[in-house]
Chain A
Amino acid sequence: MVENNNIFEIKGFSIFYGDFMAVKNIMLNIQASKITAIIGPSGCGKSTLLRSLNRMNDLIVTSRVEGQVIFHGVDIYYKDTDVIELRRRVGMVFQKPNPFPSSVYENVAYGPKIRGIKKKSQLDEIVENALVRADLWKEVKDKLNESGLSLSGGQMQRLCIARSLAQEPEVLLFDEPTSALDPISTAHIENLLQELQKTVTIVIVTHNMQQAARISEYTAFMYLGEMIEFGDTDTIFVNPHNKLTEEYITGRFG
């Protein structure tokens, strides 16, 4: 692993909800322009860890953190961090597709408009670009003014990806993005992620071990808030070092 290729360096990082320690003393480096998967049984803290990478956990009033998450050499939990800028550079796609109840166009243009881009031609370009990158343009180019909620589940999720891509993020965090989708839509999104990793660093939390094995370069296995094992996806799935990892991957618990 080349040290300076890490986009995130997580050091001794813990997350608390009140007195409950949801994530315990994590050490993890996330490489740029790669897909890193976080797997583990329900409640192991993998979503919590993911959501701490763009400080979405701040929304939960009782949460607090210890340790560091270094993004481009800066601790994102430093008190003067510009959270808004962080979230623009580290986008997030959620488990359940959640387009806004407005048109396809408005959904994608939401972020750029918030950033103050007003010129129609510029917005048009950003929207088209984002939709092309999310592999949705062909399907929706004739219905940009229709409601985003009228699309199919898989299309909605790709619309949410396009909405994030419109910010030109460096990192995209995916929180079980396909768990609400059918197998065909899932395959579509997986292909899309592999295409996107050429330009964007991807961290994906998934319940689906095959998914992690199929698309990711690196895999982290978490259990009860602790990072049990992290390494090349091939190593983790074929030759895990830790007994817990092996048991989880072979389906003996989870």
Chain B
Amino acid sequence: MAAIVSRMAQGSSNTAGTQAIYKQYTELFGTNKPMLEQFFIYVKNVIHGDFGLSFSQYPRTVAEVIKASIVWTIALQFPAIIAGWLIGNTLGALAAYIKKGFDKVLMPVSILVSNFPAFGMAVILMVVFGVYLRWFPTSGGYGFDLIPAFTWNFIWSVFVHYQLPFWSIVLITIGGQAIGMRSMSIYELNADYVKYSRFMGIKDRKIIGYVFRNAMLPQVTGLALSIGTMVGGALVAEIIFSYPGLGYTILNGVTGQDYPLISGVTLLITLMVLSATFLIEILYGFIDPRIKAAQSD
């Protein structure tokens, strides 16, 4: 698909760099060959980790550009999404169990927060904590005056730059998860087995353990299904903070009309999301014994 796309979108400028890339591309990808053959050549190259040269950052290969940015994205997004998911589920479960005041406050807030566009949350956090309070820097992955190295100075700078993008992703994830978990928990709390356990005189604490374990299951599936959307939102948050991850690389690719870069990055994001989904599916088997039981039948 990426090969087709890079072929479909053609806008060229006559600089020496682009010429060289064109020449190299004709050889590398065989642009003079039929479409299907091209596609196989592309796939073969990709399997070998060769995405070709980047147009906008000419001497660098796409693989290099991606290698430089993927670490930032993984280190930012996965902890943030998991933290948001955990906090959101805990809050939702508490809202379902405690009800009353907590629920009354938490629910409207989560509905409002979950409706906030990802970039909106990022911008507001940035203005409040970055521009007015000046607690955190507003852009970049580390101080512009530093060279990546294992010094305390650098690590501290990375840590400080990490906070705003991290919390903006966490906050957005919390809202939706809390709402889902709350309705699942309410549903489970009214289930027959809960009433039965109450009549049996089983302790409340134990029942709650059962309830939340059951309510978690759809949430895990939900995470697997929505991780793609979440990554999309997180990419935009990266762009707002000029965080040197894949989102920012895509933006550079778009502004620089850099087809190889875009196809490489999108392919990689797809792979990341697919593997995350796969991991969650495997985890699901451990959490829910019924899945295993169904498979062994």
- Decide if A and B are genuine partners: no
